[in-house]
Amino acid sequence: MTDAAALPRGRHGLSREAVTRSQRARLLGAAARVTAARGYEATTVADILAAAGVGRETFYELFEDRRACVLAAHQELLDDLVWHVRVAYEGPGEWVERCRATLRALLEWFAADPALGRFLLVEPAAVGPEFHAIFQAGFDRFVAVLDAGLDHDLPDPHPLPATSLAVGAAISRVYAEVAGGRAARLPALLPQLTYETLVPFLGEAEAREAAFRCSEAAG
């Protein structure tokens, strides 16, 4: 996710909608950055305004309060991650290869910007009760993405919901590293995570083979 740049000062030919769009994008970027750095509790609307270079009046035209702005920033960041994951998953190749590409995209997304990753995963709990629904909906989005591209020739691990297990494996591994301040080393975990996410679908031997092939591709 790239931060929106400030608009040129003085006269410019931009429409009112374009200005509002830019202001909203800057506020969301600032809300994510500031909350990631200070924690939700310590973040004030004034901090967000200063970081975004946007006025208070504009802020309240766009958002009801600090909470609404931070939640919108969270939503946008999650949309960005889901987009990256989906693009990788819809890429070329066999299912196992597409899964590996998806996991690589996921790990690289978090490693590229650990502070934003922390905001995405750790901070919602501080916002309040909305956290429950946010978590649940986010989890379901990843399950839906994975389900939509499943290879129907896969063995059926009934009664296990293999998709939930795979999404759970990825989230808990990423969460542990991000919360522990080790997001930068996430891409190195690709072989392990490939094994952990694919084993419910493929069984031990094939999942190990798939994991082994990522180390080969990397080395």
Partner 1 sequence: MVACCAEKTYAGTTIADVVLRAAVSRTTFYRLFDDKRECFDAAVAQCIGRIAATLTAAAADCDSPAEATRRGAAAMLDLLAAEPELALILSGDVVGLDPALVDRYSSFTVPALEAMWGREGAPSPKHLSPGLAFGRAQLLIFHEVAGGHPERLPALVPDIVYLAIAPFAGHDEALRQARLAGAEVAA
In 39-65, alpha helices (H): 45-52, 56-62
In the complex with partner 1, the residue whose CB is nearer, 17 or 205, is 205
Binding piece for partner 1, criterion CB under 8 A, among 25-33, 50-58, 74-82, 199-207: 199-207
Widest pairwise Cα distance in the chain: 65
> Which of 62, 72, 112, 139 forms a contact with partner 1 (CB under 8 A)?
139
In the complex with partner 1, the residue whose CB is nearer, 3 or 39, is 39
Q: Does 129 bind partner 1 (CB under 8 A)?
A: yes
In the complex with partner 1, the residue whose CB is nearer, 29 or 200, is 200
Take residue 178 and report the two structure tokens written for it.
Answer: 């991000």
Q: Does 125 bind partner 1 (CB under 8 A)?
A: yes
What phi-psi label fits residue 163: left (phi over 0), alpha (psi between -120 and 50 degrees) or beta? alpha
- Using CB under 8 A as the criterion, what x/- string covers residues 30-69 for binding partner 1? ----------xx----------------------------
- Cα–Cα–Cα angle for 66, 110, 215, rounded to 5 degrees: 170
Query: Tokens 């978590």 sit at which residue?
Result: 135
Give 219's contacts (C-beta < 8 A, 6+ positions apart): none
The interface with partner 1 within residues 156-185 (CB under 8 A) comprises: 157-161, 164-165, 168-169, 171-173, 175-176, 179-180
> Which of 27, 199, 211, 214 forms a contact with partner 1 (CB under 8 A)?
199
Query: Tokens 């591994």 sit at which residue?
Result: 173
Q: Does 122 bind partner 1 (CB under 8 A)?
A: yes
> Which of 110, 124, 146, 190 forms a contact with partner 1 (CB under 8 A)?
124
In the complex with partner 1, the residue whose CB is nearer, 83 or 131, is 131
With CB under 8 A, what is the number of residues at the site for partner 1?
39
CB 179 within 8 A of CB 121: yes
> Which of 6, 132, 185, 209 forms a contact with partner 1 (CB under 8 A)?
132
Distance (Å, whole) CA 87 – CA 145 = 10
Nearest to 60, CA basis, from 35, 37, 27? 27
Distance (Å, whole) CA 38 – CA 59 = 20
Residue 152: other Cβ atoms inside 10 A: 5
Binding stretches for partner 1 (CB under 8 A): 40-41, 122, 124-129, 131-133, 135-136, 139, 157-161, 164-165, 168-169, 171-173, 175-176, 179-180, 192, 195-196, 199-200, 203-204, 207
